[in-house]
Amino acid sequence: MAPTIRPATEADQLTIRRLIKEAGINRMSLQWPNFVVAEDGGAIVGIGQVKTHGDGSRELASIAVIPARQSEGIGAAIINSLLTREQGVVHLTCRSQLQGYYERFGFRRLDPPEFPRYFRRMIPIINVVARLVGTQILVMRREAN
Ligand SMILES: CC(C)(COP(=O)(O)OP(=O)(O)OC[C@H]1O[C@@H](n2cnc3c(N)ncnc32)[C@H](O)[C@@H]1OP(=O)(O)O)[C@@H](O)C(=O)NCCC(=O)NCCS
């Protein structure tokens, strides 16, 4: 059966932190009120959030599905659930390998001059490290509805 996508609760906070750690993605800003979780038979099999930056802009982030359940459409269900609530512009950052994946949801890769200010300073520094492990971090945008 397909997992249920529901808003996270405070009881999910530790699981959110654990899944992010296991997925090896950014561990900052993991407040449960911003998350939805995919739950199946009482177990959380995937998570994701939209977080708000100081300037009010919104970022899709922390999308993670447990390895045993990847490629079943759970990531897509989490992303669609988060995006249906977003009327305005949404950004994300991702490894270059995932550009095609996020294009399916209406995101477009930005050139550096188009980056919002909060990414402009950070991304070049992150990419010095990313290059060492053979990847690149992209910034993508989905326009307002
Ligand atoms: C990326 C992720 C969230 C996708 O979730 P999912 O439930 O497996 O994805 P879906 O079932 O919706 O879609 C599967 C498709 O996504 C694409 N995809 C998934 N992971 C990918 C990767 N690492 N590189 C390139 N494409 C990928 C593929 O096209 C895949 O299709 P396939 O199964 O036929 O190969 C999941 O792989 C994951 O948790 N990865 C580790 C954490 C991570 O990298 N998160 C993204 C941070 S930006």
Interval 107-134 mean pLDDT: 93
Do 13 and 75 share a domain, yes or no?
A: yes
Alpha carbons 75 and 85: distance in angstroms, whole number: 16
pLDDT band, very low/low/confident/very high, at 130 (cuts 50, 70, 90): very high
**8 and 69 part of one domain:** yes
Are 130 and 64 found together in one domain? no
* pLDDT at position 83: 98
Q: Any idea what the CATH number is for the domain that residue 54 is in? A: 3.40.630.30
Domain count for the chain: 2
Whether residue 80 is found in the same domain as residue 138: no
User: CB under 6 Å to ligand 1: residues?
Assistant: 23, 25, 63-65, 70-76, 94, 97-98, 101
Question: Are residues 76 and 27 located together in one domain of the fold?
Answer: yes
Q: What pLDDT score does 75 carry?
A: 98
> How far is Cα 124 from Cα 130, in angstroms, rounded to an integer?
10
Q: Which of these three, 86, 107, 126, is where a domain ends?
A: 86
Question: Do 52 and 101 fall into the same domain?
Answer: no
- pLDDT above 90 covers what percent of the chain? 90
Mean pLDDT of the chain: 96
Do 82 and 117 fall into the same domain? no
Whether residue 1 sits in one domain with residue 45? yes
Residues 65, 130: one domain?
no
Parent domain of 12 = 1-86
Q: Interior CA angle at 143 toward 142 and 145, to 5°?
A: 115
CA–CA distances in Å: residue 22 to residues 83, 87, 92, 145: 24, 31, 20, 34
Ligand 1 mutation target, pool 29, 59, 63, 92, most atoms within 8 A of CB: 63
Where is 48: in which H helix or E strand? strand 43-52
The CA distances from residue 137 to 9, 16, 97, 109, in Å, are 30, 22, 9, 11
Record the tokens describing residue 105, joined without a space.
């949801």
* Averaged pLDDT for residues 56-75: 97
Reply yes or no on whether the pLDDT at 63 is more than 90: yes
Indicate whether 39 and 110 sit together in one domain. Answer: no
pLDDT of amino acid 121: 87
Work out the pLDDT band at 93, boundaries 50, 70, 90.
very high
Q: In what order do the strands lie in the sheet with 35-40?
A: 4-7, 35-40, 43-52, 58-65, 90-95, 137-142, 108-109
CA of 61 to the centre of ligand 1 (A): 13
